[in-house]
């Protein structure tokens, strides 16, 4: 399926598990890619696979929590690709900490990337799309953690609840410009971030990592954690014209783990 032929997609968090899967899926669907991460020691394999598909890909090291870097991302995208059609607003961080242990520095670290960074990325992308005058698609990576209590990472949960709220407000503000704004809310997805959290949970419960994973999977109706490609499939749909009349929504992709809309 090639729903995104010649569309230009900017993907943040591109070195992570979900970001890499997004890049590959969007490229398979015909998009040209700008891959951004704070740590670009990464994307050689992904870049090679995308190039092998005959799609253009640019990589850029930048920090979504810094406005100057956000401006540089948009300039680089327009400079190399000529325009911006799709933002995958996906970079994120987590710290596994009990409520009483969270410092102001911890709070700022998580919220500056996940919420403030995501907001100013969205704002910058929307300005560029409005200037182009023919709409666009913004997909925010939130989390099921934004919809339920998260006592072991309240700052992370708050940041993702904020992303869901931002998605709805931005959908209203940008709808008249033809810009659709939606969020994908992953449940447990097999990436480095998930491994870090699963390790910490296993340690806390005094059980092995394998037992922790089995416990987690037993709580999922489909019996499996997400692969990053599961998230990428939803993101590609939301970035396509198949979703042209969908905006302001936050879809769980979680095997039915959290049945909260
Ligand atoms: P990951 O740790 O593999 O990838 C996150 C990427 O974001 C990393 O490559 C990291 O370098 C990058 N990043 C971090 N801070 C950045 C910054 N300031 N600027 C630019 N890039 C930065 O984790 P992932 O699971 O692929 O996470 C992708 C998104 O999915 C995140 O927003 C995360 O919160 C969300 N999510 C993940 C899960 C899960 O179970 N893995 C569940 C729900 C939501």
What is the rounded average pLDDT for all residues in the chain? 96
pLDDT band with cut points at 50, 70 and 90 for residue 42: low
Q: What is the pLDDT of residues 59-75, one digit of tens each?
A: 999 999 999 999 999 99
6 CA to centre of ligand 1 in angstroms = 26
Q: Return the structure tokens found at 83.
A: 């325009």
pLDDT at residue 44, rounded to an integer? 82
User: Which residues contact ligand 1 via a Cβ below 6 A?
Assistant: 12-13, 15-19, 37-39, 63-65, 90-93, 113, 117, 141, 143, 186, 188-189, 191-194
193 CA to centre of ligand 1 in angstroms = 7
Dihedral sign computed on CA atoms, order 117, 227, 249, 7: positive
pTM above 0.90, yes or no: yes
- Mean pLDDT value of segment 87-111: 98
pLDDT at residue 258, rounded to an integer? 93
Ligand 1 mutation pick, 110, 145, 193, max ligand atoms within 8 A of CB: 193
- Picking from 64, 82, 74, the residue whose alpha carbon sits closest to that of residue 118 is 64
Answer yes or no: 156 catalytic: yes
- Mean pLDDT value of segment 155-173: 98
Residue 27 to residues 22, 41, 95, 157, 227, Cα–Cα distance (Å) = 8, 20, 31, 31, 18
CATH number of 8-187+227-253: 3.40.50.720
The DSSP bridge partners found for residue 11 are 35, 88
pLDDT band with cut points at 50, 70 and 90 for residue 157: very high
Answer yes or no: are the C-beta atoms of 67 and 120 closer than 8 Å. Answer: yes
Answer yes or no: are the C-beta atoms of 88 and 73 closer than 8 Å. Answer: no
Burial 204-238 (b: 16+ CB within 10 A, else e): eeeeeeeebbeebeeebeeeebbebbbbbbbbbbb
CA-proximal residue: ligand 1, atom 1 (nearest): 16
Instruction: Round to whole Å and give the CA distance between 94 and 153.
Output: 7
Q: How many CA atoms lie within 13 A of 253 on its CB side?
A: 22
- Determine which one of 119, 156, 237, 251 is catalytic: 156
Q: What is the pLDDT of residues 181-238, one digit of tens each?
A: 999 999 999 999 999 999 999 999 999 999 999 999 999 999 999 999 999 999 999 9
Which one is predicted more confidently, 17 or 45? 17
Residues near 25 by beta carbon (within 8 Å), at least 6 away in sequence? 229, 232, 233, 235, 236
139 CA to centre of ligand 1 in angstroms = 14
CA-proximal residue: ligand 1, atom 7 (nearest): 13
Instruction: Round to whole Å and give the CA distance between 235 and 214.
Output: 27
List the helix and strand counts (H, then E) for the chain: 9, 7
Instruction: Delimit the domains of the chain by residue range.
Output: 8-187+227-253
CA-proximal residue: ligand 1, atom 19 (nearest): 63
ipTM summary value? 0.99
């Amino acid at each position: 399926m090639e729903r995104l032929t010649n569309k230009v997609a900017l993907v943040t968090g591109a070195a992570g598990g979900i970001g890499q899967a997004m890049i590959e899926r969007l490229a398979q669907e015909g998009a040209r890619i700008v891959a951004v991460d704070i740590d670009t020691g990464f994307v050689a394999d992904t870049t090679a696979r995308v190039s092998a598909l005959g799609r253009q890909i640019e990589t850029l090291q930048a920090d979504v929590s810094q406005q100057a870097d956000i401006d540089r991302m948009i300039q680089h995208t327009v400079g190399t690709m000529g325009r911006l059609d799709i933002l995958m607003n996906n970079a994120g961080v987590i710290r596994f900490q009990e409520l009483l242990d969270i410092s102001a520095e911890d709070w700022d670290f998580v919220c500056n990337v996940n919420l403030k960074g995501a907001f100013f990325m969205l704002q910058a992308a929307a300005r560029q799309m409005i200037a182009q005058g023919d709409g666009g698609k913004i997909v925010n990576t939130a989390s099921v953690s934004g919809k339920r209590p998260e006592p072991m990472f309240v700052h992370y949960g708050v940041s993702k609840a904020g992303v869901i709220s931002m998605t709805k407000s931005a959908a209203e503000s940008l709808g008249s410009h033809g810009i659709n704004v939606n969020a994908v809310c992953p449940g447990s997805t097999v990436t480095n971030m998930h491994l870090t959290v699963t390790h910490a949970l296993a340690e806390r419960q005094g059980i092995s990592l394998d037992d922790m994973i089995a416990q987690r999977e037993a709580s999922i109706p489909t019996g499996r954690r997400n692969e990053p490609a599961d998230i990428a499939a939803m993101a590609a749909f939301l970035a396509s014209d198949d979703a042209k009349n969908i905006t302001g929504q936050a879809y769980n992709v979680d095997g039915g783990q959290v049945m909260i809309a």
